[in-house]
Amino acid sequence: MANTAQPGSRHPSRPRLCLSLGLMLAVSACDQGPATNTRFMHPSGAQEFLIAATRNQGPLHLEIHGQAFAASPALEALIAGTMEKAIQTRRLRVATEPSEAEDPRFKLLLLFNAPASTEVLALCKNQPDGGEARSDGRIEVLAAFCNGERLVSAVQGWVEEAEAPDSDRFQQLIRQVARDLFSPRRKGE
């Protein structure tokens, strides 16, 4: 079928119609995430702290609170593996046991479905609580990189319709959180 739209015609051409439909689908997919927002970043960035925490290529302590999914016994290992692959500027290894960390002063904290009242700036000082897996399928995460009781960086993120820990959408969220959390200081900031 030939494109019958004439210049000045009120009917869109087939390529324009396809482009419009494609854009609408792309925008609607954004409504399900994943999306992240950097809530706090140390003035010098987080990368120098990451280098200090893993100077000898040792693991960084990963602490997880709350539930992203109703039942997921291998969640910690899957998150650790996903985060390790997300950082390109430095080899990152994480361990869920504090005794395995190279420098116990530093830790990576993930809170799934935390209460709305959670104070971002106090994440490293207090023992935060995560929440239960949500029935609507939305997963919210609050991540913090801590140097003792001092917050180095914090990122908040969410995704919808991530069916399992190994789903592409959930892993994309975790990678995005890791990249935002350990970003270097941006020029001009």
Instruction: Give pLDDT, residue 154.
Output: 96
Query: 45: which strand partners?
Result: 184
Q: Which of 62, 37, 36, 73 is nearest to 164 (CA)?
A: 73
pLDDT at 185: 67
For residues 18 and 12, give the distance between their C-alpha atoms in angstroms, rounded to a whole number.
Answer: 10
In this predicted structure, what is the pLDDT of residue 26? 46
Mean pLDDT by 10 residues, the chain (189 residues): 52 54 48 91 91 88 90 80 80 88 94 92 87 92 96 96 90 95 70
For residue 45, what is the DSSP state?
B
Q: How big is the chain by its Cα radius of gyration, in Å?
A: 21
Return the pLDDT at 47. Answer: 87
Q: Which residues contact 155 (CB under 8 A, 6 or more apart)?
A: 36, 37, 38, 39, 142, 143, 177, 180, 181
- The alpha carbon of residue 139 and the mean position of all alpha carbons in its chain are separated, in whole angstroms, by 11
Return d(Cα 178, Cα 44) in angstroms, integer. Answer: 17
Q: Which pLDDT value is given to residue 28? A: 45
The H or E element containing residue 13 is: none
Cα 133 to Cα 135: distance, rounded to the nearest angstrom: 7
The per-residue pLDDT for 41 is 95
Q: How far is CA 189 from CA 45, 49, 52, 86, in A?
A: 10, 17, 22, 24
